[in-house]
Amino acid sequence: MGLSVRVTRTFGPFSLDAAWAIGNELAVLFGYSGAGKSLTLQMIAGLERPAAGSIILNERPLFDSATRIDLAPQQRSFGYVFQDLALFPHMTVEKNILYGGHGIDTEQRRERCADLIARFRLSGLTRRFPRELSGGQRQRVALARALIRQPGALLLDEPFSALDAPLRAEMGELLREVQRDLQIPVVLVTHDRGEAVALGDRMIVYAGGRVRQIGTPGEVLAFPASDEVADLVRQVRRQPARFTAPAVMPEEC
């Protein structure tokens, strides 16, 4: 059980060739911007298609170039939190969360939404819009929306990069709590060394479109596999977040 990834893809001069596998743990894809971390995440979710390889979640193939399996994103059991969170500004907190549960029975969707609102301390905020929330509250809404379908794995693309240190620590602890309770694979993309060390059960180091080392954060920092990895874990620091607005505004649910 767990998540197994083996993907290749070429974009002009950039070539991605990555392979790794994790169990029900929190894995960090770590490295400089442009190393292929977010692209790997998009391929896992089905938002980008690998040229070759396979993606297997809990022994179920989601993509396999050899057998021509390529499930659509909505057929893959993933919750996804984008870097800019992609909350819909014209929807309330409650409707943003409910939107993530399309396809679920209406009554069950509302029950799950109510449970998540209580779990993530959003009670009293359900009628507010994203612009009326703090950074931490928006993070919790995005996480709740990603979990309403009870996914088999959770994917996060640098979701905490815009938060200050206390909020990052708070959200990191919440994420660890979610992983412990749900016992699902969680994959977090970051180029922040402190975040990788604090949160990761496993650290998957990317550089130049390749996986350079896999191990616990302690192992990677103490015993880097190469001079390249040693330089990387010494030099990587937090970088400014990039924000984009949701591309499509759906109708309110």
With bands split at pLDDT 50, 70 and 90, how would you rate the model's confidence at 245? very low
Specify if 177 maps to a domain: yes
Number of domains in the chain: 1
Range of the domain at 28: 3-235
How far apart CA 50 and CA 58 sit, in angstroms, is 20
Residue 160: CATH number of its domain: 3.40.50.300
**Which of 125 and 83 is assigned the larger pLDDT?**
125
Question: Tens digits of per-residue pLDDT, 47-105?
Answer: 999 999 999 999 999 999 999 999 999 999 999 999 889 999 999 999 999 999 988 89
Specify if 23 maps to a domain: yes
Task: With a cut of 90, say whether residue 114 has pLDDT above it.
Answer: yes
How high is the pLDDT of residue 83? 87
Query: Rg of the chain over CA atoms, in angstroms?
Result: 18
Specify if 150 maps to a domain: yes
How far apart CA 45 and CA 39 sit, in angstroms, is 10
Task: With a cut of 60, say whether residue 249 has pLDDT above it.
Answer: no
Residue 224 CB neighbours (<10 A): 19
Question: Tens digits of per-residue pLDDT, 151-176?
Answer: 999 999 998 887 888 888 888 899 99
Alpha helices in 152-216 (DSSP H): 165-182, 193-199
Task: With a cut of 70, say whether residue 234 has pLDDT above it.
Answer: yes
Question: What end-to-end distance do the CA atoms of the chain give, in Å?
Answer: 35
Task: With a cut of 70, say whether residue 247 has pLDDT above it.
Answer: no
Specify if 247 maps to a domain: no
How far apart CA 7 and CA 47 sit, in angstroms, is 13
The strand order across the sheet containing 78-81 reads 69-70, 60-64, 52-57, 3-11, 14-22, 210-215, 202-207, 26-30, 186-190, 153-157, 78-81
Specify if 250 maps to a domain: no
Specify if 251 maps to a domain: no
How high is the pLDDT of residue 1? 82
Give the 3-state secondary structure of residue 82: coil
How high is the pLDDT of residue 196? 92
Provide the mean pLDDT of the chain: 90
With bands split at pLDDT 50, 70 and 90, how would you rate the model's confidence at 236? low
Specify if 240 maps to a domain: no
Distances from the Cα of 55 to the Cα of 23, 63, 68, 108, 144, angstroms: 14, 5, 12, 29, 25
Cβ density class 170-188: b for 16+ within 10 Å, e for less: ebbebbbebbeebebbbbb
How far apart CA 209 and CA 51 sit, in angstroms, is 14
For residue 202, what is the enclosing H or E element? strand 202-207
Distances from the Cα of 89 to the Cα of 103, 224, 244, 247, angstroms: 22, 43, 12, 12
How high is the pLDDT of residue 84? 87
- As given in the structure block, the two tokens for residue 211 are 């996986």
How far apart CA 126 and CA 114 sit, in angstroms, is 10
Give the 3-state secondary structure of residue 73: helix
Specify if 154 maps to a domain: yes
